[in-house]
């Protein structure tokens, strides 16, 4: 079986698995990293959202063979380490402050999307708009959407 090496939450990992296995399953089933959730497997629910080289992506739709040793993947488990200080990432703190989670299943993906969105908007040198928030595709079947909007604004102010 082919070997694949990439960076995961700040560490180099190597796995023995077929090229076409999607990264979501490499993370969850092979490496036991279960923060990214399965909600559709076809890149529409966004429950699996993680970061690749600092940008949001959906590992259910990327074969492990498509990435290489230089690619840095960050899952919710590694998010806090990307921010200064010992605590959580400011977006995670905002989530706690607004008590966003209900069942919590969608929330790792929501937070990873939110952080990438704020970074993107910031790179464009502008503030978050209602349209930016409307463009978030992550499903929350518990319906926490309004608190998500509030938390993103709080988190953005502190990032």
Partner 1 sequence: MPHDQTTDPPATGLSRRSFVGYVMGGTGLVVAADLALGAAPAQAAGLPIPSVPQVPELYDLNDFLTHCTMPTSGLIAIHVDEQGDAHFALPRMEVGQGITTSTAMIIAEELDLPVERVHVTLAPARRELLFNQLTGGSNTTISTYTPIRVAAAVARKALLDAAAIQLGALVTTLSVKGGVIFDLLGNSLSYGDAAALAAPAQTKQVQVELKAAAERNVVGTPQRRVDALDAVTGRKKFAMDLTEVDVPDALPTMVCRAPDLNGRPVSVRNQAAVAAMPGVTHVAIIPTGVAVRARTFGQCIDAVRALDVEWKGGTVAGRSSADILEELRSAQLPLAVPRLGATTVEGDFVFHFRSGSALEPNCAVADVRDGTATVWGGLKSPIDAQSKVAKALGLPQAKVTVNVVQGGGSFGRKLFSDAAIEAAQASQAFGAPVKLMWHRADEPRQGRVHPMATSRVRATVLLGSVISFEQRHTSVSTDFTHGLGERLTAEVAALPTGLGNLGFSETVFLLSQELPYNFGVVTQLLNESDRDFDRFNTSSVRNIYSPDVRTANELIVDQLAAKLKLDPVAFRLKHLKSGIVKNVLRRAAELGEWGRQMPAGTAQGIAIHKEYKGATAVLVEIDCRRQTVDRRVRDAVTGPRVTKATVVVDCGLAINPLGVQAQMMGGFSDGMAQALTYSNHLVDGHFLEASWDNSAYTRQWNTPFEFRCEVVDSDREEPGGIGEAGVAASMAAVACAYARATGSMPTEFPINFHDPLHFEPKSFVPSVPASPTNGLDFVS
Residue carrying the six token digits 């989670």: 101
- Residue 91 within binding range of ligand FES, rule CB under 6 A: no
Q: Exactly one of 88, 153, 154, 159 binds partner 1 (CB under 8 A); which one? A: 88
- Candidates 150, 82, 156; CA nearest to 117 is 156
Does residue number 45 form part of the binding site for ligand FES (CB under 6 A)? yes
Q: Residues 92-131 vs ligand FES: string with x where CB under 6 A?
A: ---------xxxxxxx------------------------
Contact flags string 7-26 toward partner 1, x per CB under 8 A: ----------xx-xxx-xxx
Task: Map the footprint of ligand FES across residues 52-71, applying CB under 6 A.
Answer: 58, 60
Closest CA to 128 of 144, 148, 109, 108: 148
Q: Does 48 sit near ligand FES (CB under 6 A)?
A: yes
- Spatial neighbors of 67 by CB under 8 A, at least 6 apart, are 4, 6, 23, 52, 73
């Amino acid at each position: 079986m082919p070997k694949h090496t990439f960076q995961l939450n700040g560490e180099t990992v190597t796995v023995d698995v077929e090229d076409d296995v999607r990264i979501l399953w490499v993370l969850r089933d092979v490496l036991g990293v279960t923060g990214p959730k399965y909600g559709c497997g076809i890149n529409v629910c966004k429950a699996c959202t993680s970061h690749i080289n600092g940008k949001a992506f959906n590992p259910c739709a990327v074969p492990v063979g498509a990435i290489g040793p230089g690619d840095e993947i960050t899952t919710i488990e590694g998010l806090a380490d990307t921010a200064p200080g010992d605590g959580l990432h400011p977006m995670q703190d905002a989530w706690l402050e607004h008590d966003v989670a209900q069942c919590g299943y969608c929330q790792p993906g929501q937070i990873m999307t939110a952080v990438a969105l704020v970074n993107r908007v910031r790179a464009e040198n502008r503030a978050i708009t209602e349209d930016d928030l409307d463009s978030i595709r992550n499903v929350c079947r518990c319906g926490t959407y309004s608190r998500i909007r509030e938390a993103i604004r709080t988190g953005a102010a502190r990032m």
